[in-house]
């Protein structure tokens, strides 16, 4: 349970709203012509205003008193607010409804990211019109400023697929003409000299209870392409680790608010703030609370990407005063979750659009099991939930250029794959024979990845079938010992390397004939896409991104890119392995066709970036003032 870093401070309920300067007004006008907003909401009369006074004399006295108590500063604020609203309606807000905006002329349209069929919902959603599809070359008028607020970014700091997504998507958007930038913590583990990170400025970040935090802002470039702002705050980020369960509510609250403050201080006002998982979901909340009015960011829309709904960021409600939020935010449709606050739930409520990392996963998380408690809230916002498959960095994962392989190959010349298979068999001490089908595994050894199913199928498959299997990974001790046992029982057909070596991961992808991924759930998954690119047929359970990226083998038509099964059991996996082995021996021409079809698939970040452009347009068109 997180504790307040300033627990001795008494909470203050006074939050001053600064009057916008002329510089801030200039920053706000940067959004002109690119955003869509709604008409200012009608002000709801207070309970006192609705109640008729007892007599007109008392009413006149009250009116006179209220007029006299209104300070000159308050009148200035009201005048500025009225002027801001007038300017917004004239310069920023097109009068036509966003859903009916014209579709631009396009040379190469891309299907919109699909909001999948809704699982059992708390409310029945009303369908909304999809945003217009982007063109292959984005017109200059639709280029956007997009801010990514993240805890991870490859290769600077990474624990999973989040870092890959930030790196790949920002570079793809940059190539398509957008001004994409990243804000992340300056962790102790990041080498400032190696990545050319230099100090830029100091920044004062305001929080609740009148608390101010000064942070350092450093600058760098991701692969010489994407600007990065690093937030330096030693108390929270000068550590060798990325996550700290005790203080993460405060650590990433500081990151999220500092990211928005840097934009205001530099007058770089984004059209979109793209936040990631629970860690930076507070960025979407702050935009609708602290920066809702009289702020250069008042017209910035937010997009939340959920990478894994199993991680929701649950903390003590004592952190809310630090965020500058009152007790009324401790409500079930905002933060409250069985007496705790749930940061991911808050992000779902306040973000203008929500994405997940595959269309099937977007559907699964709206069901009672896959949603892990958040399905009703996602269903309430069903029209704004989309699934987009992550891309692959083909500068790293490409058999034609892979620096780790003993021989390179391509779809047009597959000779090098046989060389890689021979090297893989030799490396793991297996019988060197190109005719034996070789199955590969590269994974964290965790129950989510389906290792219970592997333990229930691989021993029998190794006894009954002509096959080999190699594994690379670490994690659960029981699974590590299982693969040690497999090597002892089948010394010439099974082996594993406990640990992670990038060179071996690439060699297994290239040298294997099949790749095993029997995950219980998989939001997106990357290895099945690596396998297809390398001409290795994936054997997967049909869940999440695995279902979206693998086309099941059709024996009658000789089509497909891999083999799927649905039942969560070792028996189902055993028979699917048998199906793959049978295809290898009995229908080798089908195997070759499937290789070609898999290698022809487009898994690049360019494809994903075009779909994210659609989501950004949707977020701007449906930006809500909560």
pLDDT tens digit sequence for 210-224: 999 999 999 999 999
Structure tokens at 262: 């840097």
pLDDT of residue 31: 45
pLDDT exceeds 90 at position 511: yes
CA dist., res. 502 & res. 498, Å (int): 13
Q: Band the pLDDT of 141: cuts 50, 70, 90.
A: low
Q: Which helix (H) or strand (E) holds 207?
A: none
pLDDT exceeds 70 at position 364: yes
Q: Are strands 537-541 and 226-232 parallel, antiparallel or unpaired?
A: unpaired
Instruction: Tell me what the pLDDT averaged over the chain comes to.
Output: 84
pLDDT exceeds 50 at position 530: yes
pLDDT of residue 142: 85
Question: Pick from 427, 422, 425, 495: which is nearest to 458 by CA?
Answer: 495
CA dist., res. 176 & res. 361, Å (int): 27
Q: Band the pLDDT of 293: cuts 50, 70, 90.
A: confident
Which CA distances in Å does 52 have to 49, 63, 282, 559? 7, 13, 41, 75
pLDDT of residue 6: 39
Contact 395, 222 (CB under 8 A): no
Q: Are strands 226-232 and 179-185 parallel, antiparallel or unpaired?
A: parallel
pLDDT exceeds 90 at position 89: no
pLDDT of residue 292: 84
Structure tokens at 593: 């066709």
Q: Band the pLDDT of 529: cuts 50, 70, 90.
A: very high
pLDDT of residue 246: 85
Where exactly are the structural domains of the chain?
129-391+608-621, 415-603
Pick the CATH number of 129-391+608-621 from 3.40.640.10, 2.120.10.30, 3.40.50.2000, 3.90.180.10: 3.40.50.2000
Query: Cα torsion at 560, 566, 568, 569 (round to 10°)?
Result: -70
Per-residue buried b or exposed e for 259-295, using 16+ beta carbons within 10 Å of the residue's own CB = bbbbbbbeebbbbbbbbbbbbbbbbbbbbbbbbeebb
Residues making up the chain, counted from first to last: 626
pLDDT exceeds 80 at position 411: yes
Phi-psi region of 560 (alpha: psi -120 to 50; beta: other; left: phi over 0): left
Task: Assign domain 415-603 to its CATH superfamily.
Answer: Glycogen Phosphorylase B; (3.40.50.2000)
Residue whose pair of structure tokens reads 């100091």 in the numeric block: 202
pLDDT of residue 139: 58
User: Among 70-74, 191-195, 473-477, 603-607, where is mean pLDDT lowest?
Assistant: 70-74
pLDDT exceeds 90 at position 319: yes
pLDDT of residue 140: 54
pLDDT of residue 341: 97
CA dist., res. 437 & res. 595, Å (int): 14
Q: Per-residue pLDDT averaged across 345-361, rounded? A: 97
pLDDT of residue 257: 98
User: Among 3-7, 150-154, 523-527, where is mean pLDDT lowest?
Assistant: 3-7
CA dist., res. 550 & res. 458, Å (int): 22
CA dist., res. 292 & res. 498, Å (int): 51
pLDDT exceeds 70 at position 113: no
Sign of the C-alpha dihedral computed for residues 77, 78, 81 and 86 taken in this order: negative
Higher pLDDT, 76 or 387: 387
Domains 129-391+608-621 and 415-603 share a fold: yes
Contact 340, 249 (CB under 8 A): no
Q: What is the pLDDT of residues 34-46, one digit of tens each?
A: 443 333 333 343 4
CA dist., res. 80 & res. 267, Å (int): 19
Q: Per-residue pLDDT averaged across 9-13, rounded? A: 38
Q: What is the pLDDT of residues 258-278, one digit of tens each?
A: 999 999 999 999 999 999 999
pLDDT of residue 111: 43
Q: Band the pLDDT of 360: cuts 50, 70, 90.
A: very high
Which CA distances in Å does 172 have to 36, 181, 452, 582? 24, 12, 38, 40
Phi-psi region of 349 (alpha: psi -120 to 50; beta: other; left: phi over 0): alpha
Structure tokens at 388: 């987009």
The number of C-alpha atoms within 13 Å of 560 and in the hemisphere containing its C-beta is 20
pLDDT of residue 430: 98
CA angle, 621 as apex, 617 and 625 as ends, to 5°? 130
């Amino acid at each position: 349970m997180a504790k307040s870093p300033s627990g001795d401070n008494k909470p203050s309920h006074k939050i001053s709203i600064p009057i916008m300067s002329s510089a801030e007004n200039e920053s706000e006008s940067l959004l002109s012509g690119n955003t869509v907003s709604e008409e200012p909401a009608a002000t709801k009369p207070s309970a006192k205003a609705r109640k008729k006074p007892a007599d007109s004399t008392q009413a006149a006295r009250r009116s006179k008193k209220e007029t006299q108590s209104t300070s000159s500063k308050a009148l200035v604020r009201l005048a500025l607010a009225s002027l801001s609203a007038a300017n917004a309606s004239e310069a920023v807000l097109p009068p036509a409804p966003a859903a009916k905006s014209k579709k631009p002329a396009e040379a190469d349209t891309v299907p919109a990211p699909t909001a999948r069929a809704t699982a059992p919902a708390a409310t029945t959603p009303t369908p909304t019109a999809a945003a217009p599809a982007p063109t292959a070359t984005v017109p200059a008028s639709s280029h956007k400023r997009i801010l990514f607020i993240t805890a991870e970014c490859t290769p600077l700091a990474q624990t999973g697929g989040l870092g890959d997504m930030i790196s790949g998507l920002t570079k793809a958007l940059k190539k398509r003409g957008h001004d994409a930038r990243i804000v992340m913590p300056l962790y102790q583990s990041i080498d400032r000299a190696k990545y050319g990170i230099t100090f830029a400025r100091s920044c004062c970040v305001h929080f609740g209870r009148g608390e101010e935090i000064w942070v350092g802002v450093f600058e760098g470039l991701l692969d010489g392409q994407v600007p990065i702002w690093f937030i330096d705050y030693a108390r929270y980020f000068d550590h060798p680790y990325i996550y700290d369960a005790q203080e993460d509510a405060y650590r990433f609250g500081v990151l999220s608010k500092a990211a928005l403050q840097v934009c205001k201080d530099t007058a770089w006002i984004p059209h979109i703030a793209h936040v990631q998982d629970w860690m930076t979901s507070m960025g979407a909340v702050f935009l609708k609370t602290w920066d809702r009015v009289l702020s250069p960011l008042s017209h910035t829309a937010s997009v939340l990407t959920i990478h894994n709904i199993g991680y929701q960021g649950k903390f003590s409600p004592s952190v809310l005063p630090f965020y500058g939020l009152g007790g009324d935010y401790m409500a079930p449709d905002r933060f409250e979750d069985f007496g705790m606050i749930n940061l991911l739930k808050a992000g779902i409520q306040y973000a203008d659009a929500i994405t997940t990392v595959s269309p099937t996963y977007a559907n699964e998380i709206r069901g009672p099991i896959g949603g892990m408690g958040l399905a009703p809230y996602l269903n309430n916002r069903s029209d704004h939930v989309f699934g987009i498959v992550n891309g692959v960095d083909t500068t790293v994962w490409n058999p034609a250029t892979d620096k780790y392989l003993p021989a390179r190959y391509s779809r047009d010349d597959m000779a090098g794959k046989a060389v890689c298979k021979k090297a893989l068999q030799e490396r793991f001490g297996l019988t060197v024979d190109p005719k034996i089908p070789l199955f590969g595994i590269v994974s964290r050894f965790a129950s989510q990845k389906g290792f219970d199913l592997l333990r229930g199928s691989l021993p029998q498959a190794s006894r009954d079938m002509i096959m080999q299997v190699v594994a690379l990974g670490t994690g659960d001790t029981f699974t590590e010992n299982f693969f040690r046992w497999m090597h002892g029982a089948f010394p010439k057909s099974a082996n594993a390397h406990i640990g992670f070596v990038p060179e071996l991961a690439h060699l297994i992808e290239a040298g294997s004939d099949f790749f095993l991924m029997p995950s219980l759930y998989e939001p997106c998954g990357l290895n099945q896409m690596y396998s297809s690119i390398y001409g290795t047929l994936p054997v997967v359970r049909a869940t999440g991104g695995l279902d979206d990226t693998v086309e099941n083998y059709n024996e009658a038509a000789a089509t497909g890119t891999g083999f799927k099964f649905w039942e969560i059991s070792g028996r189902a996996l055993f028979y699917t392995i048998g199906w793959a082995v049978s295809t290898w021996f009995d229908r080798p021409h089908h195997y070759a066709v499937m290789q070609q079809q898999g290698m022809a698939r487009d898994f690049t970040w360019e494809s994903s970036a075009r779909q994210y452009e659609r989501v950004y347009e949707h977020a701007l068109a449906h930006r809500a003032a909560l």
